[in-house]
């Protein structure tokens, strides 16, 4: 999985140095994930749905001018996928750093 | 009584009894139950409750109608009222849940200072009140059309039911009734939408099939002298579309009654997943709404086009009684149509159709059977009541938890706190009834106020509070007041409210969009003032640090 890209980049040796070094690492990974997802969020809604809507409207699929489709349908589907990716990856990140909650809730089960 | 009225009565009575039964089952004895439903709500149920809390009379009753008249630019509501959940899930919900207390101002108080908390509590009350008025008025429209009860009586009945479950059950009662109300609302929205889509295109998936009529609709619009339906920026300039969409998104993420719903999950993880469920449930309605808008507009235009005034479809007559549909006296046949009362009054159109009725009337316009029309009435009420209840909880908790116990009665016992919160809730319901009967403006327009204010006050404050440790009390309070003053004064400048006259928009920016700029003002002022004053204490910085991690680090695997 592409997850490997996000694992330790030769950070401080475990146990040595600051006891809370993991905190910085965890937070940095959280922020990176967040920024990537927010870029997609902006590109799809404000990009495809507003800034470039007229150019995209030249293409018509299934009766929908494409820009119009993004503005009234596509952006919403994308938002769902973004939150799904965030929830899944944060679950993984929490476990990786041992900060997951032991009293479990949510998820698809 | 007509057949429609009987069915409406049956569905409304049935759903109301369910709500009251749930209220009885979930009455609470502790403030933790009253304010945050014992923090024991499963993610999927919480998602449904968020969806019901969120989707108001404006979403259910007005939105598709607005889209029908705005065409492509109706997307500001579609993207604006869903995109905020991405911000909420990524930037706020998990952190505020980790911190885990009762109200949004309370977080602000712990993070900044008691002064900021009081300002935030007052802003939360103002925002929630502007919003609750729209809900009450929306409920009144449903009652007056479907049960032919005068608006005042309708508002009072809906408020009495809300009173029952909100006062006794607090957040717990509200949460579980919201789950039921979501179900009622979505069924009532989807069934007619499927039916209409199937009738017109033969494909019962409105999200897909409304593409098939867009070309025809564009042609039909042209015959009425209207802009192309799929043409962007006909209703608003591009800059304004951008700003309004952004204001609605960050407003959504900053609305106290939405944020507070994420306090009720069992865990931080639960708050992330419940944001996902919430958006899935909301998207079911929000991806259907543009289809309902397009189909209804199509049916509407086809139904009245070139018709002599005395041969108009039955629904026109049904709705004329409410004053929301009017036929010009000078018209012989219908050749033009508008949703603006002022245009109509000047003789600019033959037929006036108010946005707010299109969803409620769509089954009638499409000629669907009476039970479906009745079901839509129950759905409209569920939408209005679920949102009103969530807002009333914010008002009650701000008044009691954030203000009364701080300033008047510090040492109140648990029982007394619960009592005071219930009284605050009761009073809030009474004030809401008053404004519901005397609403200041259109349902959706009133709601737009609340968004602008939430966008320019809470959102920057909370995001900076979580992500930038250096933010301090002085910065927060000046930022919030600057955002509020900027946004509020532009709204008063451009709208006719409180007896002021409306001025021209500056750079074509509408009052709905100004919240985006207000948020920027807030952000800049907060950062500048924070940097110019002393950093927050070590304890506060440690608190901000702590909310970043869902739980204590497990020793397994560490070191």
Q: Are strands B351-353 and B337-338 parallel, antiparallel or unpaired?
A: parallel
Domain extent, residue B408, equals 3-21+42-296+368-546
Interface of B with A in 260-299 (CB under 8 A): 265-270, 272-276, 279-280, 283, 286-287, 290
What CATH number corresponds to the domain at position B456? 1.20.1730.10
Q: What are the chain B neighbours of A98 within 8 Å (beta carbons)?
A: 553-558
Interface mutation target, options B63, B86, B87, B263, chain A, most CBs of A under 10 Å: B86
Residue B475 domain-assigned?
yes
Residue B260 domain-assigned?
yes
Verify whether the Cβ–Cβ distance A54 to B246 is below 8 Å: no
Distance from B278 to chain A by nearest Cα, in Å? 10
**Two tokens, residue B283:** 């998207």
**Mean confidence (pLDDT) of chain A:** 81
Residue B358 domain-assigned?
no
B81 alpha carbon, distance to own chain's centre:
8
**Could you give the number of structural domains in chain B?**
1
Q: What are the chain A neighbours of B89 within 8 Å (beta carbons)?
A: 83, 86-87
Verify whether the Cβ–Cβ distance B90 to A107 is below 8 Å: no
DSSP SS3 for A8: coil
Using the Cβ of B558 and the Cβ atoms of chain A, whether some distance falls under 8 Å is answered with yes
Maximum separation of any 2 CA atoms in chain A, in Å: 62
Shortest CA distance to B204 belongs to which of B295, B303, B302, B70?
A: B295
Q: What are the chain A neighbours of B215 within 8 Å (beta carbons)?
A: 63
Q: What are the chain B neighbours of A87 within 8 Å (beta carbons)?
A: 89, 269, 272-273, 275-276
Task: Output the pLDDT for position A3.
Answer: 39
What burial class does residue B308 get, using C-beta atoms within 10 Å of its C-beta: 0-12 exposed, 13-18 middle, 19+ buried? Answer: exposed
Using the Cβ of B74 and the Cβ atoms of chain A, whether some distance falls under 8 Å is answered with yes
A78 alpha carbon, distance to own chain's centre:
11
Cβ count within 10 A of residue B363: 26
Verify whether the Cβ–Cβ distance A57 to B232 is below 8 Å: yes
Q: What is the pLDDT along chain B (559 residues), one digit of tens a residue?
A: 678 888 888 998 999 899 888 888 887 777 888 888 878 888 899 999 999 999 987 788 888 888 998 999 999 999 999 999 999 999 999 999 998 878 888 898 889 988 889 988 988 888 888 788 778 877 877 777 777 777 788 888 888 888 887 887 888 888 899 999 999 999 999 998 998 898 888 888 999 989 888 988 998 888 888 888 888 888 888 899 999 999 999 999 988 889 988 988 888 999 999 999 999 999 999 999 999 999 988 988 888 887 888 888 888 887 787 777 888 888 888 888 888 877 888 877 888 888 777 877 888 777 788 888 888 888 988 888 888 888 888 888 888 888 888 888 778 788 888 888 888 888 888 888 887 777 665 555 566 678 888 899 999 999 999 999 999 999 999 999 999 999 988 887 777 665 556 777 888 788 888 999 999 999 999 999 999 999 999 888 988 988 898 888 876 544 3
Task: Output the pLDDT for position A5.
Answer: 36
Residue B429 domain-assigned?
yes
Interface mutation target, options B67, B83, B206, chain A, most CBs of A under 10 Å: B83
CA distance linking residue B157 with residue B172, whole number of Å: 22
CA distance linking residue B15 with residue B271, whole number of Å: 28
The tens digit of pLDDT for each residue in A48-71 reads 999 999 999 999 998 999 999 999
Shortest CA distance to B131 belongs to which of B357, B403, B454, B404?
A: B454
DSSP SS3 for A11: coil
DSSP SS3 for B331: coil
Verify whether the Cβ–Cβ distance B211 to A53 is below 8 Å: no
Shortest CA distance to B122 belongs to which of B105, B100, B141, B110?
A: B105
Cβ count within 10 A of residue B310: 7
Tell me how far apart the terminal alpha carbons of chain B are, to the nearest angstrom: 76
Residue B310 domain-assigned?
no
Interface mutation target, options A19, A71, A84, A100, chain B, most CBs of B under 10 Å: A71
Task: Output the pLDDT for position B219.
Answer: 87
Highest mean pLDDT among A20-29, A77-86, B3-12, B431-440: A77-86
Task: Output the pLDDT for position A7.
Answer: 35
Q: What are the chain A neighbours of B548 within 8 Å (beta carbons)?
A: 23, 26-27, 30
**Two tokens, residue B124:** 């939360």
Q: What are the chain A neighbours of B555 within 8 Å (beta carbons)?
A: 98
Interface mutation target, options A24, A28, A96, A106, chain B, most CBs of B under 10 Å: A106
Residue B301 domain-assigned?
no
């Amino acid at each position: 999985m592409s997850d490997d890209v996000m694992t330790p980049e030769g950070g401080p040796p475990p146990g040595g140095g600051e006891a809370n070094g993991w905190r910085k690492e965890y937070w940095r990974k959280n922020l990176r994930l967040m920024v990537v997802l927010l870029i997609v969020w902006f590109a799809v809604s404000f990009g495809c749905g507003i800034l470039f809507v007229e150019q995209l409207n030249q293409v018509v699929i299934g009766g929908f001018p494409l820009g119009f489709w993004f503005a009234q349908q596509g952006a919403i589907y994308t938002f769902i996928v973004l939150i799904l990716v965030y929830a899944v990856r944060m679950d993984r990140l929490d476990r990786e750093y041992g900060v997951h909650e032991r009293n479990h809730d949510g998820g698809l089960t | 009584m007509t057949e429609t009225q009987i069915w409406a009565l049956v569905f409304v009575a049935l759903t109301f009894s369910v709500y009251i039964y749930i209220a009885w089952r979930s009455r609470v004895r502790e403030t933790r139950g009253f304010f945050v439903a014992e923090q024991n709500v499963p993610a999927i149920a919480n998602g449904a409750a968020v969806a019901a809390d969120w989707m108001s009379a404006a979403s259910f009753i007005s939105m598709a109608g607005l889209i029908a008249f705005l065409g492509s630019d109706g997307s500001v509501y579609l993207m604006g009222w869903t995109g905020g959940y991405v911000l909420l899930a990524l930037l706020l919900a998990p952190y505020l849940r980790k911190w885990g207390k009762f109200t949004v101002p309370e977080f602000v108080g712990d993070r900044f200072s008691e002064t900021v908390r009081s300002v935030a509590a007052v802003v939360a009350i103002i925002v929630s009140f502007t919003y609750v008025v729209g809900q009450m008025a929306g409920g009144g429209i449903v009652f007056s059309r479907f049960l032919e009860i005068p608006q005042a009586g309708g508002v009072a009945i809906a408020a009495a039911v809300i009173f029952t479950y909100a006062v006794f059950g607090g957040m717990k009662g509200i949460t579980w009734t919201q789950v039921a109300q979501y179900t009622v609302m979505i069924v009532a929205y989807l069934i007619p939408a499927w039916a209409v889509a199937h009738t017109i295109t033969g494909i019962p998936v409105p999200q897909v099939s409304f593409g098939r009529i867009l070309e025809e609709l564009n042609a039909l619009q042209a015959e009425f002298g209207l802009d192309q339906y799929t043409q962007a920026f006909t209703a608003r300039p591009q800059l304004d579309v951008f700003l309004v969409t952004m204001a609605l998104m960050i407003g959504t993420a900053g609305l106290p009654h939405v944020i507070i719903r994420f306090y009720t999950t069992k865990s931080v993880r639960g708050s992330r997943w419940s944001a996902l469920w919430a958006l899935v449930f909301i998207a079911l309605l929000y991806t259907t709404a543009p289809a309902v808008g397009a189909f209804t507009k199509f049916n509407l235009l086809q139904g009245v086009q070139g018709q002599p005034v005395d041969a108009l479809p039955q629904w026109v007559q049904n709705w004329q009684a409410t004053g929301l549909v009017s036929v010009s006296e000078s018209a012989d046949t219908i050749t033009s149509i508008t949703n603006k009362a002022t245009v109509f009054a000047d003789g600019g159109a033959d037929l006036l159709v108010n946005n707010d009725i299109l969803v409620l009337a769509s089954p009638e316009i499409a000629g669907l059977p009476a039970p479906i029309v009745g079901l839509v009435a129950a759905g409209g009420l569920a939408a209005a009541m679920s949102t009103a209840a969530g807002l009333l909880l914010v008002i009650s908790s701000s008044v009691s938890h954030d203000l009364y116990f701080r300033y008047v009665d510090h040492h109140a016992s648990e029982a007394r706190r619960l009592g005071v919160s219930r009284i605050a809730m009761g009073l809030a319901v009474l004030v809401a009834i008053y404004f519901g009967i005397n609403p200041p403006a259109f349902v959706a327009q009133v709601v737009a106020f609340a968004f602008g204010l939430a966008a320019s006050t809470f959102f920057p404050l909370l995001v900076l509070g979580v992500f930038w440790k250096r933010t301090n009390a002085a910065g927060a309070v000046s930022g919030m007041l600057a955002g509020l003053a900027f946004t509020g004064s532009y709204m008063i400048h451009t709208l006719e409210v409180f007896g002021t006259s409306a001025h021209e928009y500056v750079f074509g920016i509408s009052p709905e969009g100004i919240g985006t700029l207000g948020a920027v003002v807030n952000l800049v002022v907060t950062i500048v003032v924070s940097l110019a004053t002393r950093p927050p204490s070590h304890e506060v910085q440690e608190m901000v640090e702590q909310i970043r991690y869902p739980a204590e680090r497990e020793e397994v695997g560490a070191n």
